[in-house]
Amino acid sequence: MPANTKPTVKKEKTEELPHPDSYYAMRIVVPVANPKTALSLLKLAHSLVHPTKGKIIALFVNNPDSPYKDALQEIEKICENAKKNGLPIELVTIVSHHVARGILDITRERNADLTILGFQVPKDGKKITLGDVTEAVARVISHDLVVYRSNNEAIERIVVPATTLENTRMAMIHALHLSQAYQKPVIALFVKDHKIHYADPNHTNPFWLQRSRIYDAIYSLPDSENIETEIIEAQDLVSGIQSFCKDTDLIVYPVGFQQDEDLDRKWVFGPAAERILRLAPGSLAIIRRGNKQATLLEQLANQIERLRPMLTIDERTEVMQETINLARANTNFIVMIMLSSILATVGLLQNSTAVIIGAMLVAPLMSPLMGFGAGLALGNLQTMRRSSVTVLYGVLLVIVVSFVIGTIFSIPTPTSEMLSRGQPNLLDLVVAIASGAAGAFAMARRDVPAALAGVAIAAALVPPICTTGLALAIGHLPLFIGAGALSVVNIIGISITSAGVFAAMGIHQKGMVPTRQRLIISFTIILLMAIPLTFLLRSNFIYLNTSNTVKTVLEEELGNATVTDVEIEGGENMKITATIRSPYIINSADVKTLETKLEDRLERDIDLSIVFMQVVEVDFVEEQN
């Protein structure tokens, strides 16, 4: 707001407000970095916030690359003086790698319903742009938004160009708040443009039909007595604004909500707003209504959408560039994958959890898997192919290293750490899904340590792959198959989940691959990857169902017995080993009877082995002295 304009400070009122609560913003986030514009933005926020219930969050994002990184003390003084003058301000200071990311995080955390961003008109004939930060936030944010430009002239009129019915009504609500603060009239400007085709083609004069509808809508608002109407003829709306408005006008220009994720668009609000920014005199407030939905389900979807951590353009570009770098198998990758393989293999042989965890800390498999996930989200075959080769190369290195170590330091039987990775189940798939989500989120969000996600992914990948190599070295085929299946499931789960997280955060690039081709590639890859996953889940379901059946039959037939463990091998000719605790002795005849019962229930040949542990109950009688 111009420095020489002093809006009336609103006092808290007990009487009824002139506007309903829904016409005011309750929580306004105002990023303030430049001390020259901070006060005007805060005053603008004060004219729009609820007089008694509202809160203004003045946000200072501390970023090393910002030209205003040393302006915090001056901003603190401005906020403190504004608070003394009655503005309900809270100063929030955060540190962020990207200024836009810091703004978006605070608007989400504080559940803001309005954000006010400022931009300045460049001098010396430079091209007019919103600025990197303002444009990045405007492209992602989904609630109400005001982008404000001041020309440092005293405001004499507030002009609202009439566009669509809903947008004009929304802009007029904001304009009436400004009118109350500045005690200036509001002008509804209708530009008669015969090239515009309105919704009712059968009406003899569509301009007057549209005007009458907007007229009825804005004059039904409270305080509408401050509204004046002007009708002019011009070539188009922008030309009309340019010819009618003066340097002392504040133009409140409404635009509709459009969630645009097209990175190639040059102007986030459309070409008309770009022309108004270049040609319109006076101060300018571009008002964009948030994604207001009608039905309860749509409102719920909008709230979920607000919680989705969408990335800014700069963040998306960085992630997409990093995926290309991550897909390559360089010297660092080879050295670290070999070292992690040695540590994990030794930990498995020693049955040492601590050493296995050490291997997770240095395993680099997160990088190519994240590259594949981003390539899958983009539908980029080249990135997926390069990442796949790197992942395959890394897996083969791990198997070779673990096989060599297992051959040199041969053990007669697998350790418990090895056996625990030889029977994949649904919980292992959950680990893979969580690991993939953590890796993708950490890669996209710079404030999350990527090393933490790397450990999660290493936990899901390196030990099972090393177990595969060790099983091959000792000739344990069931363990080799089980650990290999677990490794495949983890790779698939991490890849698909990371692709889903990247897509949810807006990782895509129109023009890189045609949309139709990108969707076909992505769905085809997901389908191909889902085939082995489906077979594994089916096998796991059959295994669990069979295990439960065996446990039920044994406990029913033996009476006072507890089945503590069931191991199943084979298909049609099934070998079952059950561990049973019972106070009664189980002989070979009992085992034969149980074997027959299981064959009848499972309808296949059964070779049953029982590991029997007798439970002895002892009563302790207290000695009498």
- Give the CA distances from residue 34 to residues 28, 48, 149, 196, 314, in Å, rounded to whole numbers and listed in that order: 18, 21, 13, 40, 21
102 and 146 together in one domain? yes
85 and 109 together in one domain? yes
- Give the CA distances from residue 378 to residues 372, 383, 414, in Å, rounded to whole numbers and listed in that order: 10, 9, 42
Residue 155 in this model has a pLDDT that exceeds 50: yes
Q: Which residues contact 391 (CB under 8 A, 6 or more apart)?
A: 365, 368, 369, 372, 491
Residue 400 in this model has a pLDDT that exceeds 90: yes
pTM of the model: 0.63
Residue 511 in this model has a pLDDT that exceeds 60: no
- Give the CA distances from residue 443 to residues 207, 315, 316, 428, in Å, rounded to whole numbers and listed in that order: 52, 10, 11, 23
407 and 502 together in one domain? yes
Pick from 251-265, 279-293, 550-564: least confident: 251-265
Residue 2 in this model has a pLDDT that exceeds 50: no
As a whole number, mean pLDDT of residues 264-286 equals: 76
In the structure, what pLDDT confidence band is assigned to residue 297 with cuts at 50, 70 and 90?
Answer: low
Side by side, which strands form the sheet with 27-31? 89-95, 55-62, 27-31, 114-118, 144-149, 283-288, 249-255, 157-161, 186-192, 227-233
Residue 466 in this model has a pLDDT that exceeds 80: yes
Pick from 130-144, 220-234, 436-450: least confident: 436-450
278 and 172 together in one domain? yes
The CATH number covering residue 390 comes to: 1.20.1080
Helix or strand run (H / E) with residue 299: helix 296-307
In the structure, what pLDDT confidence band is assigned to residue 221 with cuts at 50, 70 and 90?
Answer: confident
202 and 128 together in one domain? yes
Residue 229 in this model has a pLDDT that exceeds 70: yes
Q: Which residues contact 56 (CB under 8 A, 6 or more apart)?
A: 28, 30, 42, 45, 46, 49, 87, 88, 89, 90
332 and 299 together in one domain? no
In the structure, what pLDDT confidence band is assigned to residue 517 with cuts at 50, 70 and 90?
Answer: low
Pick from 105-109, 313-317, 402-406, 473-477: least confident: 313-317
Two tokens, residue 83: 């608070």
More confident residue, 260 or 249: 249
Angle, vertex CA 475, rays to CA 469 and CA 480, nearest 5: 50
Give the range of the structural domain holding residue 582, as residue numbers without chain letter. 545-614
The CATH number covering residue 606 comes to: 3.30.300.20
Identify each DSSP E strand in 462-604 by its residue range: 562-569, 573-582
As a whole number, mean pLDDT of residues 265-269 equals: 61
- Give the CA distances from residue 388 to residues 372, 458, 534, in Å, rounded to whole numbers and listed in that order: 7, 17, 21
In the structure, what pLDDT confidence band is assigned to residue 28 with cuts at 50, 70 and 90?
Answer: very high
% of the chain exceeding 70 in pLDDT: 77
Tally of domains in the chain: 3
Write down which residue in 307, 339, 371 finishes a domain.
Answer: 307
- What is the structure's pLDDT at 319? 77
Residue 266 in this model has a pLDDT that exceeds 60: no
97 and 187 together in one domain? yes
Write down which residue in 470, 493, 513 finishes a domain.
Answer: 513
138 and 76 together in one domain? yes
Alpha-carbon span 314 to 527, nearest angstrom: 31
As a whole number, mean pLDDT of residues 449-455 equals: 55
Segment 379-398, tens digit of pLDDT: 778 888 888 899 899 899 99
Write down which residue in 489, 513, 537 finishes a domain.
Answer: 513
Alpha-carbon span 494 to 461, nearest angstrom: 10
Q: What is the mean pLDDT of the chain?
A: 78
Residue 286 in this model has a pLDDT that exceeds 50: yes
Residue 560 in this model has a pLDDT that exceeds 90: no
233 and 263 together in one domain? yes
Residue 75 in this model has a pLDDT that exceeds 80: yes
